[in-house]
């Protein structure tokens, strides 16, 4: 697996990974990303991807990609709070990460986080994220990277008839160094 910057040609495989989350949710898998009621159209996703690509080229947003067998199998995005750097909250980065279901548990998430956080150093003062409070594996991963929990919103996510809590974690990028042994 290789880890690199975002390419324009990543659209189809990243979209496939995202759309697959809807199937995982339908199958009752505990997907730790909040989704829409229905998958957005491809046209809407083109708009989302074009914006990500443009912001990444302009070095306003960070996007790291995992590639295996010539296709993108995971991505990690850090975007400024509120979407723009030039605001009073633009020094806070908001992180989102997704790995294709066939490639999880092989270190892709760890390497994507490391690459993104290394790039975030000097660009964002704080990086924060929201995680489903019951997603112990993701929380372990974030803790290994130096994230700490700063709060929890009870019943923040409504999935079907269930309500789930969201936990919020942050890492102070001033003085952040990569963990010595990120996988354990
Ligand atoms: C959360 C997510 C991004 C993590 O990515 P990942 O590629 O599975 O992460 P890693 O493989 O680096 O680490 C996950 C686990 O695999 C283990 N692992 C890492 N490298 C490994 C390897 N080579 N072989 C076996 N296991 C490995 C890690 O130690 C970790 O174990 P733990 O859960 O016991 O702590 C991914 O599972 C995902 O996309 N999930 C669906 C969406 C989601 O829930 N996103 C989180 C939003 S907050």
The residue whose CB lies within 8 Å of the most ligand 1 atoms, and thus the one to mutate among 68, 106, 149, is 106
Task: Name the band, by pLDDT with cuts 50, 70 and 90, for residue 180.
Answer: confident
> Is 180 part of a structural domain of the chain?
no
> Is 179 part of a structural domain of the chain?
no
> Is 177 part of a structural domain of the chain?
no
pTM over 0.75: yes
Rounded to whole angstroms, how far apart are CA atoms 181 and 17? 28
CATH number at residue 79: 3.40.630.30
Average pLDDT over residues 78-93: 96
> Is 181 part of a structural domain of the chain?
no
Average pLDDT, the chain: 96
Boundaries of domain holding 109? 2-172
Report which ligand 1 atom has the smallest distance to the Cα of 97: 3
Render pLDDT for 127-173 as a digit per residue (tens, 0 to 9): 999 999 999 999 999 999 999 999 999 999 999 899 999 999 999 99
Q: What residue ranges in 69-133 does DSSP mark as E strands?
A: 71-80, 92-99, 126-132
Task: Name the band, by pLDDT with cuts 50, 70 and 90, for residue 37.
Answer: very high
Centre of ligand 1 to C-alpha 75, Å, is 13
Q: Give me the pLDDT at residue 183, please.
A: 59
Centre of ligand 1 to C-alpha 107, Å, is 6
> Is 183 part of a structural domain of the chain?
no
> Is 89 part of a structural domain of the chain?
yes
Q: Give me the pLDDT at residue 93, please.
A: 98
Render pLDDT for 52-71 as a digit per residue (tens, 0 to 9): 999 999 999 999 999 999 99
Residue 168: alpha-carbon gap to chain centroid: 13
């Amino acid at each position: 697996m290789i880890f690199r910057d975002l390419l324009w040609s990543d659209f189809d495989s990243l979209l496939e990974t995202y759309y697959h989350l809807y199937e995982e949710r339908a199958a009752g898998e505990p997907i730790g990303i909040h989704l829409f009621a229905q998958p957005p159209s491809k046209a809407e996703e083109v708009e989302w991807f074009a914006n990500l690509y443009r912001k990444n080229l302009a070095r306003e947003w960070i996007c790291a990609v995992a590639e295996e067998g010539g296709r993108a199998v995971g991505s990690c995005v850090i975007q400024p709070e509120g979407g723009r750097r030039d605001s009073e909250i633009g020094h806070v980065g908001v992180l989102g990460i997704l790995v294709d279901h066939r490639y999880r548990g092989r270190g892709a998430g760890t390497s994507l986080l490391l690459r993104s956080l290394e790039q975030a150093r000097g660009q964002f003062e704080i990086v924060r994220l929201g995680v489903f409070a019951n997603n112990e594996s993701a929380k372990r991963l974030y803790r290994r990277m130096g994230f700490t929990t700063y709060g929890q919103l009870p019943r923040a996510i409504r999935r079907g008839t269930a309500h789930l809590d969201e936990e919020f974690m942050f890492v102070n990028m001033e003085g952040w160094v990569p963990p010595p042994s990120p996988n354990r």
